[in-house]
Amino acid sequence: MQSSTIRDLFLDYFRSKEHLIMPSFPLIPQNDPTLLLIGAGMAPLKPYFTGEKKPPHPRVVTCQKCVRTPDIERVGYTGRHATFFEMLGNFSFGDYFKEEAIAWAWDLVLNGFRLPVERLWVSIYQDDDEAFKIWNENIGVPADRIKRMGKEDNFWEIGLGPCGPCSEIYYDLGEAAGCGSPDCAVGCDCDRYLEIWNLVFTQFSREASGELVELKQKNIDTGAGLERVAMALQGVHSLYDTDQVRPLYDHFTSLADPARRDQQVPLRVVTEHSRGTTFLIADGVIPSNEGRGYVLRRLLRRAVRFGRLLGIEGDFMTEAATLVIDQMGSAYPNLKERHDYIRQVVSLEEQKFQETLAQGTEILEGYLEKMEKEGEKVLPGNLAFKLYDTFGFPLDLTAEILQEKGFSVDREAFSANLKEQQERARAAARTSTGKDLNEHYKAAEALETVFTGHESLEQDAELILTLAGGQAVSEINKGEEAELFLDQSPFYAEAGGQVGDTGLIETEDAVFKVINTVFTPSGQIVHQGQVTEGQFKTGNRVQARVDRIRRRGICRSHTSTHLLHRALRRNFGDHINQAGSLVAPDRLRFDFNHFTALTSEQLRAVEEEVNLMALDNVQVTARLTTLEKAKEAGATALFADKYEEGSVRMVSAGDYTRELCGGTHVAATGEIGLFKIVAEEGIGSGLRRIEAVVGLGAYRQAIKNDQLLKTIAIAMNSDLLRLEDKVTEYLAEHKMLQKLNQELKQKNAAVEVKSLLANVKEVDGAKLLSAAVAADSLESLRLVMDEVKSGIGSVAVVLGAVSNGKVILVSSVTADLIDRGIRADGLIKEVARKVGGGGGGKADLAQAGGTNPAALPEALAAVEELVRNQLQTKS
């Protein structure tokens, strides 16, 4: 039976039992910050189990795509574990229970899939007599085919809350699939007794006391691996031999070096990981160094490495993605829709890693050579760390390559290096006072400082703590720097990318200028600045006033980042997430994950979209709500895990965007004025940065550009209207003049050569020319010299010129005169010495420089004597 038939049969069977078929949920958990990836059919249905949400129907059936990272190390080594697989499952939310779940599973296995009963086994939780009775009495499974298993295997629970016993169905693949041990039986770690289906009976709640309490609403959650059912039905011993996976395995086998085609483990790894990577990318995961992006990166890189072991070269994972899509595209149409995109992401990451591999391998080979010479067997940890830290070369890869050549790596020293680096980074994050921030703000730890700046920019308050140099003081005076704490404050403390407010804190006769506002590690608002007038005493009543103009500029930027986020997602897809931002007065920076640079057309489209949303002048509102409700309303949560239930702030700009955000915003988008992107750049792998100006910032940018154009126009003796034509004309003219200049130079050289030839002397029958000429570089000097030589045939030449206040010299001697003892390097050395310089070359050609132009005529005049000497020495 084909995999697609198995899938349909399962869904149809449970539809006939009044289940609602729901499509597979995406691999990225939609509303669950606690979960990295969906690893079971029940995971996306969790809110229905906990009662948090009402299910659309009390009975549901799905075929859910899953990625299980914890199984990554087993991939390749067993035939039944994949990181990516499909899980078939039927679910009951407080509806039917154990009896039906068991009866239907058995019915489907025997009468739907028609698996032979003599190969089937079941397991139950050791204390679950109810399940035993159902299997044994209702169904008729003999007692010796029902294995009781311990808590470890057959009791499902995570922490407190709903939990319960499981019952599994096993299929005996036959002796040939097993480990051969005489103890091999259900529960053995080999592939023979294959767990195909797990039925979880959620009937208890684990209380904090440790007690198990019977639940009123009992649930059923089952999971059957599609690939495993296919193994049983297709009579094969590994999932790599099933219909959906085999073509991939064969493809990689054909790519592998013929001598390595029997290497099962690496072949399985590349096969398996190509499926996982393709599905992850299709669902919006992008390679990165953390979270699910790292899972993807790890799978891809692992595949590339194992591919290398098989001798497979080139962008093989990119090609494999297409095969996976061909194979799985009809069941998962989003693969087909995103075909090109998927290939692009795989290809970029694959190429980058290939480069890393090539570079790292080369360096590692250098180390190896040295180790061989010195008789060392272990690569020092600091070198392995350097490879990792500077070149991104993974440690296990270093170890693998070393191992192949009979070497090893000092892993302990590597870890020590890594730890040291992390500590250095941590130390660098401390304050300039050298103290840890926690320690610096210890005195403020228990204070309550309430932020009132969403409603108003002015606030009456009490000065409750004054810190000078990290010490609590009772008063501060004019000129002193300090940090002030107020019981309530309208000042926004730097957070979520938004810069801190500035402004004034005043009493009737004292002024404190706030230059920045930040949070302490324990969450108090700190006003940093200086007393500019009078004296403050802790306990004073004060007036706190935020700099309004600056704050309004910040609000414009902040709302703009939300609109920009929205426009990017609309243009490029929901994989785009904010990775960081700077929200400053009328200026912003927005970092996000995306795999390539944006073209200027794309940037313009995004920019225009933001401006349209601004011009639409929709209201911007903020309201407190629950995380659950905010997500229902479609809000984007940036740092989901930081939000506490019951207290999130949702900022909406009309219907354009909803984001969870604590920042300050304009009242309506029209206040933004103009939004203008000024830069887009890459800031690390898979990360892009957009910089933009808004409001006054955009206006000033426009003025600046305008001014620049005017200045250029004046310089070009033009007006703005004709500027472009004028520049084009000017460039054409410039080119023409350059050409003309070149021609003139050549003509000049010819004239010069003619007059030079008249100066040729004879010394003992050898022709000699030494002269100063007009030339601006060694190159043009040599040109002149070549002309001279070709005009005479047998000659010794020394030419000098003055360029930029310095002397340049060239010399050349023809072969017949070299035979007579004249050498260019000998001549030039002497001449250069006389003009305060040096140089050299060979007998036929030499060049030099000097610093004393005044001495040049005399130095050249002396050449005749030099030549005479050289000739005499020879004879």
Residues engaged in binding ligand ATP (CB under 6 A): 40, 68, 71, 81-82, 85, 87, 195-198, 223-225, 227-228
Per-residue buried b or exposed e for 542-574, using 16+ beta carbons within 10 Å of the residue's own CB: bebbbbeebbbbbbbbbbbbbbbbbbbbeebee
- The residue (of 221 and 659) whose beta carbon lies closer to ligand ATP is 221
- Residue 70: CB minimum distance to ligand ATP, A: 8
DSSP class of 599: P
- Which lies closer to ligand ATP via its Cβ, residue 195 or residue 501? 195
Least distance between ligand ATP and beta carbon 84 (Å)? 8
Nearer to ligand ATP, 169 or 397 (CB): 169
> Any bridge partners for residue 22, and if so which?
62
Q: How far is the CB of 57 from ligand ATP (least distance, A)?
A: 22
- Other Cβ atoms less than 10 A from the Cβ of 203: the count is 21
Ranges assigned E (strand) in 594-719: 620-625, 648-653, 657-660, 675-682, 687-694
Going by C-alpha positions, the residue among 770, 784, 742, 777 that lies closest to residue 831 is 770
**Closer residue to ligand ATP (CB): 112 or 380:** 112
- Rounded to the nearest whole angstrom, what is the least distance from the CB of residue 15 to ligand ATP in the complex? 21
- Indicate the residue among 168 and 586 with the shorter CB distance to ligand ATP: 168
Nearest distance from residue 329's CB to ligand ATP, in Å?
21
Kindly state the smallest distance separating residue 430's Cβ from ligand ATP, in Å.
44
Least distance from ligand ATP to the Cβ atom of residue 228, Å: 4
State which residue, 70 or 210, has the beta carbon closest to ligand ATP.
70
In the bound complex, what is the minimum distance in angstroms from residue 39's beta carbon to ligand ATP? 8
Q: What is the DSSP string of 287-356?
A: --SSHHHHHHHHHHHHHHHHHHHTT--SSHHHHHHHHHHHHHTTTSHHHHHTHHHHHHHHHHHHHHHHHH
| Residues 191 and 177 sit within 8 Å (Cβ to Cβ) | yes
Give the span between the Cα atoms of 576 and 285, in whole angstroms: 10
- Minimal distance, residue 397 CB to ligand ATP, in Å: 24
DSSP bridge pairs for 223: 198
Per-residue CA distances from 230 to 91, 216, 226 (Å): 21, 37, 6
DSSP letter at 653?
A: E
Q: How far is the CB of 199 from ligand ATP (least distance, A)?
A: 9
- C-beta closer to ligand ATP: residue 221 or 506: 221
Give the shortest CB-637-to-ligand ATP separation in angstroms. Answer: 28
CB of 136 to ligand ATP, least distance (A): 21
Helix pair 339-374, 291-309: axis angle to 10 deg: 60
In the bound state with ligand ATP, the residue whose beta carbon lies nearer, of 223 and 284, is 223
The closest of 818, 759, 821 to 792, measured between CA atoms, is 759
Q: Yes or no: say if 208 and 72 are a contact pair by the CB < 8 Å rule.
A: no
Q: Is 284 helix (H, G, I), strand (E, B) or coil?
A: coil
Shortest separation between residue 326's beta carbon and ligand ATP, angstroms: 21
Could you tell me the sign of the dihedral formed by the alpha carbons of 709, 713, 719, 721, in that order?
A: negative
Rounded CA gap, 783 and 805, in Å?
21
CB-nearer residue toward ligand ATP: 221 or 825: 221
- State the number of CA atoms in the 13 A half-sphere of 512 facing the CB: 31
| Closer by beta carbon to ligand ATP, 225 or else 553 | 225
Rank residues 82 and 637 by Cβ distance to ligand ATP and give the closer one. 82
Q: Which is nearer to ligand ATP, 79 or 686 (CB)?
A: 79
Q: Write the DSSP string, 735-765.
A: HHHHHHHHHHHHHHHHHHHHHHHTT-EEETT
Minimum CB separation of residue 121 from ligand ATP in Å reads 13
**Cβ-based nearer residue to ligand ATP, 303 or 867:** 303
**Beta strand 488-489 with 450-451: parallel, antiparallel or unpaired?**
parallel
Task: State in angstroms the smallest separation of the CB of 85 from ligand ATP.
Answer: 4
Which residue, 245 or 563, is less far from ligand ATP as judged by CB? 245
859 vs 835: CA distance, rounded Å? 7
Residue 457 Cβ vs ligand ATP, minimum distance, rounded to whole Å? 55
What φ, ψ does residue 203 adopt, rounded to 5°? Answer: -120, -10
Question: Which token pair is 177?
Answer: 């699939």
Question: Which residue in 227, 163, 166 sits closest to 198, CA to CA?
Answer: 166
Q: SS3 of 423, please? A: helix
Which CB sits closer to ligand ATP, 152 or 340? 152
- State which residue has the least CB distance to ligand ATP: 225
* DSSP symbols for 119-175: GEEEEEETT-HHHHHIIIIII---GGGEEEE-HHHHEEE-SSEEEEEEEEEEEE--G
Q: Which of 759, 789, 771 is nearest to 857 (CA)?
A: 771
| For ligand ATP, the closer CB: 154 or 669 | 154
Query: Which one-letter amino acid corresponds to residue 474?
Result: S
Least Å from the CB of residue 453 to ligand ATP:
50
Closest separation in Å from C-beta 200 to ligand ATP: 8
- Which lies closer to ligand ATP via its Cβ, residue 227 or residue 350? 227
Instruction: Write phi, then psi, for 418 (nearest 5 degrees).
Output: -65, -45
The smaller minimum CB distance to ligand ATP, of residues 194 and 674, is found at 194
DSSP string, 686-753: TEEEEEEEEHHHHHHHHHHHHHHHHHHHHHTT--GGGHHHHHHHHHHHHHHHHHHHHHHHHHHHHHHH
